Amino acid sequence: MRKVILGMMSTLNGRLDSPFEWVDGVGDDIYRRINENAQKSDTMLIGRNTYDEMVAYWPGTLASGEGTGSNQTMARHMHDIEKLVISRSGSRALEPWHKARMVTAADDAALVAFITELKARPGGDIHLSGGASLVQSMVRLGLVDRFTFYVFPTVSPGAAWFGEVTDKRDMAVVDVETFDKGVVGLTLEPRAPLDMGAPQRFTELLS
């Protein structure tokens, strides 16, 4: 079965929205790793507003040939990948873009049903790209199979990855990397909770 991979940049306190407000630059080492991970996916899930930002930038970047090699690699990938734009209402038509189409999921049940069916289809990984509302819903509903965070050494107020989670979620650490500018790459997967009994105080965990 295919996996849904959430891979984005984050602050120390888990902020995911408006990275232009807190990222002081994306180093080429991070960009290369993002490109490498992107090549493993053949489908992308995008929120409606995030799609508008992407379609305003990537097609023109690819057509112009401008930017770094890493930027052009990403522009080509963004052109080639299947882009599924998740909308609650489906009321606004999409600006045309190669292999992009709208998926209307009016409520949580519809979103779960669509993602479950999508993961059962043949194909590569599914990249969950944002925006904040879609990511928070997918995380809350337990639809993400792997998390790759590029954690910047800064704190900033805003929408957080796990902002809508109301229960305990345990993770297994798959990989840890370090990048320029003090950025740490964390790859995590959900795991079953450990059986720790029912401790009543912290000191019971030390014995």
13-70, pLDDT tens digit by residue? 988 878 888 888 787 898 889 889 988 999 999 999 999 999 999 999 999 998 888 8
> Does residue 131 have a cis peptide bond before it, meaning omega lies within 30 degrees of 0?
yes
pLDDT at position 207, please?
64
Mean pLDDT of all residues in 94-115: 97
Q: In what order do the strands lie in the sheet with 146-151?
A: 100-104, 82-87, 41-47, 125-130, 4-10, 146-151, 184-190, 171-178
Could you tell me the pLDDT band of residue 196, with boundaries at 50, 70 and 90? low
What is the per-residue pLDDT for 27? 79
Would residue 171 be called left, alpha or beta, if left means φ above 0 and alpha means ψ between -120 and 50 degrees?
A: beta
**Burial of residue 37 (number of CB atoms within 10 Å: 0-12, 13-18, 19+):** middle
pLDDT for residue 166: 81
| Position 107 confidence tier, pLDDT thresholds 50, 70, 90 | very high
The pLDDT score that the predictor gives to residue 26 is 82
Confidence of residue 173 (pLDDT cuts 50, 70, 90): very high
pTM for the model? 0.87
Output the six-digit token pair for 163: 């902002």
Confidence of residue 155 (pLDDT cuts 50, 70, 90): very high
Overall average pLDDT of the 63-87 stretch = 93
DSSP character at residue 154: -
Supply the mean pLDDT for the chain: 90
CATH superfamily name and code, 4-206 = Dihydrofolate Reductase, subunit A (3.40.430.10)
**pLDDT for the residue numbered 160:** 81
